[in-house]
């Protein structure tokens, strides 16, 4: 600071304060004099005096009163002040001395690359291995499972530590596994074993050969014999082997001497790296499997570790468990261990032939019955026959799936009158008991599952608007949304039952319901659930298409159309065609293979709206998708042609694809249902084929008709034909 500026400051106290602030940077404390800081007016002295070490060196504010210099302070007073520090505000730091703190915002990709915490007593190689897998190899969402405490040990070996990671693609999966094996061999001289790994050039060669075989199969009109060729599995298990260190430490009291079994104790720790693609990891759910196993093991160890006093009775080997699916009275197929009143120090052993769970306190039990009891509509049992929460959740999911395998009328009756109904049927009362004992997150999920099941069954007491409101509340509560639940909600939003009334037909999903489905897709995207997949694209394409046989005509055209077809306007047909064209382009960009379910849905909707070019294109591309044509595919093919009743299309279909059906590999299992469908197609082309076969006259499909009669038994075929004529 210049001398002129200091001279311009008339106040001596201000000048001295400025000098103090700069001199303090050198570590020299400048103590102001009492004369320079004495106030003009007399002020009372401060109530407390502070030692000289409390001088505010870095403060830019002058003190309020005189500060004593070299004043003797008793030791007791100093100790008392140190024990009870004054309630003073924090020291003011000038802006030029403050350190800038940069707020770091975590990137979403960085969250995927976070390393899991190391378990207690880890082997020395574990930390380096995790860092190499994440940084150098590039696997995401690493999780570490410590399975060293499992008893009996897993099939992969004792003292096992499992690492699970996600690869970004199939190519990245193979490259990552190959590099990890090479790194372990060169760095640590280990001999890793990678199950499911193909060599660097072996994968390219096999994919090229598979594409060549598919091309030849398409030209020959047949399909590939193997649907799962083992090339693209999406899962590679790298067994690193046994490394030094990390073995669990057992206390001396647990070490038994004498004969304990075969083999020697395992020294060291075995590490296994499970590499999977994202779809395969969601399908297998290895983390959930092993976490449930660890939970059962910890419950068992905790129960065995509890000791009883001699007054309470002897300690038993094994604990009493409840059945996972039945009431406590259904115990005839197993031996239960009961407490004894008298002293008995011998070990009691029993044979268990079914899954049993640990007994829980009476307060934690809920009303939950087995599926068989619910199906038989028995009265609701008491609280004595109730499994734990996890078993109830699994039983609830199984009950929801079971609704798809019973008649729709019976399934709709089980679901009651609506979501507000909690007492009308035994299944509804069973759901209420499970609902009341669950946490809020689980309650929301159970409500969504029940509503989705009811809407898919076209229950009149449930509607899609209420489902959307429940789904929105689930998201606003920040509850997790799994991919299976999201796809199930999307299926419910896209479900549609056509109304074939000629006066007021409904052959496609309304625009308002389609808008709700698109909102669900948006929410799935926001929660990092991949929606650019053939499964979701096929659902959207089917939802936007016609669900019954249709034909378009102009408004002034009154000519009759094909049988069993609903008339629509040309504008409506063009609007649907535009949406289908855009989604078909997304299919090509996606470059993923649709599954058998998606292929059947696409074949159905294309034939309904008479888009025969797209229909036959997908039918002929099935070998490229790795889908072998089965009995259900040919059943759908002949059934669609029989419903359309178009002679030219049916004639071409029978002439081409009936001989091809016998050439399929693997062989098509022809049953009575398929034979009757073929006979319906023959009757469309030749209505008098039965008379020709009796009179031994020639016809285009007379030989095929006789073959169908032999397959069905002649009397049964004649009875079926007579019933069809009537």
CA 586 to chain centre: 24
- Does the pLDDT value for residue 54 go beyond 50? no
Q: Which of 260-264, 339-343, 651-655 has the lowest mean pLDDT?
A: 339-343
Compare 656 and 114 and report the one with higher pLDDT.
656
Contact 675, 706 (CB under 8 A): no
Q: What is the mean pLDDT of residues 335-353?
A: 40
Q: What is the mean pLDDT of residues 250-273?
A: 64
Contact 534, 520 (CB under 8 A): no
pLDDT for res 714: 61
- Does the pLDDT value for residue 380 go beyond 80? no
Q: Find the DSSP H helices in 256-352.
A: 278-284, 286-305
**Measured distance CA(183)–CA(192) in Å, rounded:** 10
Residues 57-75 pLDDT 10s: 444 444 444 444 444 444 4
Residue carrying structure tokens 């020697």 = 264
- Widest distance between CA atoms in the chain: 139
Residues 527-538 pLDDT 10s: 888 888 888 888
Residues 157-172 pLDDT 10s: 889 999 999 999 888 9
Domain segments of the chain as ranges: 3-83, 112-196+233-244+268-293, 366-480
Q: Which residues is 362 bridged to in the sheet?
A: none
Contact 85, 54 (CB under 8 A): no
pLDDT for res 345: 40
Compare 389 and 88 and report the one with higher pLDDT.
88
H or E element in which residue 235 lies:
strand 235-243
Closest CA to 517 of 471, 567, 548, 575: 471
pTM: 0.48
**Measured distance CA(214)–CA(221) in Å, rounded:** 10
Give the pLDDT band (50/70/90) at residue 699.
confident
Q: Is 507 helix (H, G, I), strand (E, B) or coil?
A: coil
Closest CA to 651 of 619, 686, 675: 686
607-630 in b/e burial notation, b at 16+ Cβ within 10 A?
A: bbbbeeebbeebbeebbbbbbbbe
DSSP 393: H
Give the pLDDT band (50/70/90) at residue 337.
very low
What whole-number percentage of the chain has pLDDT above 70? 65
DSSP 26: G
Give the pLDDT band (50/70/90) at residue 133.
very high
Give the pLDDT band (50/70/90) at residue 10.
low
Q: Which of 113-127, 414-428, 498-512, 582-596 has the lowest mean pLDDT?
A: 498-512
**Measured distance CA(629)–CA(619) in Å, rounded:** 9
- Does the pLDDT value for residue 35 go beyond 70? no
pLDDT for res 318: 33
Residues 6+ apart with CB under 8 A from 274: 162, 163, 164, 165, 235, 237, 238, 286
Q: What is the DSSP string of 409-456?
A: HHHHHHT-SSTT--SSSHHHHHHHHHHHTS-HHHHHHHHHHHHHHHHH
Q: Which residues is 277 bridged to in the sheet?
A: 167
Residue 378: both structure tokens together: 């028995």
Residue 32: both structure tokens together: 């102001």
pLDDT for res 16: 53
Q: What is the mean pLDDT of residues 270-288?
A: 91
Q: What is the mean pLDDT of residues 288-294?
A: 89
CA dihedral 639, 644, 645, 647 (to 10 degrees): -100
Q: What is the DSSP string of 5-24?
A: HHHH---HHHHHHHHHHHHG
User: Residue 193: what are its φ and ψ, rounded to 5°?
Assistant: -120, 120
Give the pLDDT band (50/70/90) at residue 667.
confident
Residue 46: both structure tokens together: 């401060």
Residue 245: both structure tokens together: 């260190």
Residue 478: both structure tokens together: 């920040």
| Averaged pLDDT of the chain | 73
pLDDT for res 375: 40
pLDDT for res 43: 45
Residues 515-564 pLDDT 10s: 999 999 999 988 888 888 888 888 888 888 888 888 777 666 666 666 66
Q: Find the DSSP H helices in 95-244.
A: 108-112, 124-131, 170-188, 202-220
Give the pLDDT band (50/70/90) at residue 448.
very high
- Does the pLDDT value for residue 593 go beyond 90? no
Q: Is the dihedral of CA 409, 412, 417, 421 positive or negative?
A: positive
User: What is the domain class of 112-196+233-244+268-293 according to CATH?
Assistant: alpha beta
Closest CA to 109 of 84, 69, 141, 85: 141
pLDDT for res 272: 96
Residues 609-652 pLDDT 10s: 888 888 998 998 888 888 889 999 999 999 999 888 888 889 99
Q: Which residues is 163 bridged to in the sheet?
A: 144, 273
């Amino acid at each position: 600071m210049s001398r002129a500026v200091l001279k311009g400051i008339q106040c001596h106290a201000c000048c001295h304060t400025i000098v103090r602030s700069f001199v303090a940077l050198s570590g020299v404390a400048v103590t102001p004099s009492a004369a320079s800081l004495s106030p003009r007016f007399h002020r009372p002295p401060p109530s407390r005096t502070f030692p000289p070490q409390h001088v505010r060196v870095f403060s830019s504010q002058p003190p309020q009163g005189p500060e004593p210099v070299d004043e003797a302070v008793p030791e007791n007073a100093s100790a008392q002040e140190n024990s009870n520090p004054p309630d003073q505000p924090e020291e003011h730091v000038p802006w030029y001395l403050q350190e800038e703190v940069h707020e770091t915002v975590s990137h979403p990709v960085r969250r995927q690359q976070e390393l899991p915490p190391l378990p207690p007593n880890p082997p020395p190689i574990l930390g380096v291995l995790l860092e190499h897998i994440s940084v150098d190899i590039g696997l995401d969402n690493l999780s570490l499972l410590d399975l060293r405490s499992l008893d009996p040990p897993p099939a992969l070996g004792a003292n096992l530590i499992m690492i699970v990671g996600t690869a970004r693609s199939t190519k990245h999966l193979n490259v990552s596994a190959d590099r990890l094996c090479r790194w372990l061999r060169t760095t640590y001289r280990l001999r890793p074993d990678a199950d499911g790994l193909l060599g660097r050039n072996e994968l390219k060669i096999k994919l090229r050969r598979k594409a060549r075989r598919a091309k030849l199969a398409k030209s020959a009109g047949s399909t590939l014999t193997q649907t799962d060729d083992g090339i693209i599995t999406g899962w590679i298990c790298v067994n690193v082997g046994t490394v030094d260190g990390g073995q669990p430490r057992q206390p001396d009291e647990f070490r038994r001497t004498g004969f304990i079994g075969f083999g020697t104790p395992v020294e060291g720790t075995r590490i296994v790296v499970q590499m999977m693609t994202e779809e395969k990891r969601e399908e297998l759910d290895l983390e959930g499997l092993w976490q449930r196993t660890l939970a059962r093991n910890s419950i068992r160890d905790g129960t065995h570790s509890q000791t009883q006093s001699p007054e309470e009775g002897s300690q038993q080997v094994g604990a009493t468990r409840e059945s996972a699916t039945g009431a406590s009275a259904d115990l005839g197929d197993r031996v239960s261990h009961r407490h004894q009143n008298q002293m008995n120090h011998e070990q009691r052993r029993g044979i268990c032939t079914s899954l049993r769970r640990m007994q829980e306190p009476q307060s934690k039990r809920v009303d939950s019955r087995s599926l068989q009891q619910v199906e038989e509509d028995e009265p609701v049992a008491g609280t004595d026959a109730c499994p734990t929460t996890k078993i109830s959740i699994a039983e609830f999911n199984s009950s929801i799936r079971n609704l798809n395998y019973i008649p729709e009328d019976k399934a709709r009756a089980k679901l009651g009158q609506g979501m507000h109904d909690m007492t009308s049927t035994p299944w509804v009362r069973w759901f209420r008991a499970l609902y009341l004992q669950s946490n809020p997150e689980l309650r929301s999920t159970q409500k969504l599952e029940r509503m989705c099941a009811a809407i898919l069954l076209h229950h009149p007491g449930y509607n899609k608007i209420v489902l959307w409101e429940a789904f929105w509340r689930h998201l606003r509560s920040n509850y997790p949304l799994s991919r299976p639940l999201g796809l199930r909600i999307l299926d419910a939003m896209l479900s549609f039952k056509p109304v074939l009334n000629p006066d007021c037909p409904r052959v496609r999903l309304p625009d308002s319901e389609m808008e709700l489905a698109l909102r669900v897709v948006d929410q799935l995207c926001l929660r990092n659930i991949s929606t650019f997949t053939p499964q979701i694209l096929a659902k959207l394409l089917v939802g936007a298409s016609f669900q019954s046989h249709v034909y378009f005509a102009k408004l002034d055209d009154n000519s009759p159309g094909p049988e069993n077809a609903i008339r629509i306007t040309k504008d409506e047909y063009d609007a649907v065609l535009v949406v289908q064209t855009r989604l078909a382009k997304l299919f090509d960009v996606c470059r993923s293979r649709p599954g058998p379910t998606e292929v059947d849905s696409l074949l159905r909707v294309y034939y309904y709206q008479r888009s025969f070019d797209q229909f036959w294109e997908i039918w002929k591309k099935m070998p490229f998708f790795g889908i072998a044509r089965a009995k259900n595919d040919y059943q759908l093919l002949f059934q669609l042609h029989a419903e359309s009743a178009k002679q030219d299309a049916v004639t071409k279909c029978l002439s081409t694809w009936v001989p091809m059906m016998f050439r399929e590999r693997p062989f098509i299992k022809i049953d009575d249902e398929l034979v009757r469908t073929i006979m319906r197609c023959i009757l469309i082309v030749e209505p008098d084929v039965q008379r020709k076969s009796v009179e031994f006259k020639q016809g285009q499909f007379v030989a095929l008709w006789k073959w169908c009669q032999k397959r069905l038994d002649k009397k049964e075929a004649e009875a079926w034909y007579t019933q069809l004529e009537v």
